[in-house]
């Protein structure tokens, strides 16, 4: 799919909406002809890019099977970099793919999206963008989730183990510079925060709860 983006152009080359539409159209044509979406549903059939005179941002309309390209994009014209790092992984790879897979398996409510699905898909889209860029942004709470999940899943640590490890790390991180003693208030607050985080990660059965909170991106929750 990425091969349709001209490789001889600089990353900041500005495509006209019509040229961007032509490139995306070629991508979707290749997608429709792939072996991934065939009978009985032909889920990829009918999807097309259109130029929207009113929209200010890229958008997917699953009901009408269109990817909307704004005539005047608020964040600037589409470029090879935007097509490669946003359109393909985010708009096509998340929003369009969710609709395609739902239709292929005859789950009509998921084809157009369940109520309040926006935050989860936008967050996942940003994760995919970051994968394409090779640059990852996270927040401090996400690091704690990764730490607890990793210690439990890969090192076999119990909830009690991860509580002790994380609470001590948080206490050390919160110590004022040059402090020789741990303030009692700091110890209590860090252990309380750790308990809540630890409980959230381990809540549930089997291994799924360990990973459900890892899907955070730019403070937007997927789960």
For residue range 182-204, list pLDDT tens digits in order.
888 999 999 998 998 888 888 87
Residues 125-140: what's their mean pLDDT?
Answer: 76
Asked whether residue 114 falls in the same domain as residue 148, the answer is no
The pLDDT > 90 percentage for the chain reads 46
**Domain closes at, from 98, 133, 168:** 133
**Domain closes at, from 110, 133, 156:** 133
Asked whether residue 70 falls in the same domain as residue 51, the answer is yes
More confident residue, 80 or 177: 80
Q: Which residues on neighbouring strands pair with residue 67, listed in sequence order?
A: 49, 60
Asked whether residue 147 falls in the same domain as residue 113, the answer is no
What local confidence, expressed as pLDDT, does residue 12 receive? 95
Asked whether residue 49 falls in the same domain as residue 110, the answer is yes
Residues 167-177: what's their mean pLDDT?
Answer: 90
Average pLDDT of every residue of the chain: 84
Three-point CA angle 105, 111, 117, nearest 5°: 125
Asked whether residue 60 falls in the same domain as residue 97, the answer is yes
Q: Kindly report the pTM of this predicted structure.
A: 0.62
| Among 28-42, 121-135, 199-213, the least confident range | 28-42
The Cα 70–Cα 2 span in angstroms is 21
What local confidence, expressed as pLDDT, does residue 136 receive? 67
**Domain closes at, from 102, 133, 164:** 133
Q: Going by C-beta distance under 8 Å and a sequence separation of 6 or more, which residues neighbour residue 116? A: none
Asked whether residue 111 falls in the same domain as residue 161, the answer is no
Residue 9 above 90 pLDDT?
Answer: yes
For residue range 36-76, list pLDDT tens digits in order.
555 444 566 789 999 999 999 999 999 999 999 999 998 89
Residue 143 above 50 pLDDT?
Answer: yes
Residue 165 confidence class, pLDDT cut points 50, 70, 90: very high
Residues 197/166, Cβ–Cβ less than 8 Å: yes
Residues 47/29, Cβ–Cβ less than 8 Å: no
Give residue 195's domain range: 140-221
Q: Which residues on neighbouring strands pair with residue 70, listed in sequence order?
A: 52
Number of domains in the chain: 2
Listing from the earlier edge strand, what are the strands of the sheet with 48-52?
48-52, 66-70, 59-61
For residue range 200-221, list pLDDT tens digits in order.
888 877 777 777 666 544 444 4
């Amino acid at each position: 799919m990425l091969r349709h983006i001209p490789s001889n152009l600089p990353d900041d080359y500005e495509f006209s909406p019509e040229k961007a539409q032509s490139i995306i159209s070629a991508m979707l044509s290749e997608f429709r002809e792939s072996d991934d979406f065939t009978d009985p549903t032909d889920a990829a059939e009918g999807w097309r890019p259109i130029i929207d005179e009113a929209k200010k941002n890229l958008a997917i309309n699953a009901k009408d099977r269109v990817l909307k390209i704004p005539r005047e994009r608020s964040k600037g014209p589409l470029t090879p970099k935007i097509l490669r790092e946003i359109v393909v992984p985010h708009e096509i790879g998340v929003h369009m793919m969710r609709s395609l897979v739902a239709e292929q398996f005859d789950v009509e409510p998921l084809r157009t999206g369940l109520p309040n699905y926006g935050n989860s898909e936008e967050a996942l889209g940003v994760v995919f963008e970051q994968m394409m860029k090779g640059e990852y942004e996270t927040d401090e709470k996400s690091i704690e989730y990764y730490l607890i999940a990793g210690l439990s899943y890969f090192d076999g640590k119990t909830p009690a183990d991860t509580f002790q490890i994380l609470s001590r790390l948080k206490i050390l991180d919160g110590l004022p510079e040059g402090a020789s003693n741990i303030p009692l208030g700091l110890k209590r607050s860090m252990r309380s925060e750790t308990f809540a985080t630890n409980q959230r990660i381990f809540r549930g059965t089997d291994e799924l709860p360990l990973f459900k909170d890892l899907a955070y991106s730019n403070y937007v929750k997927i789960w």
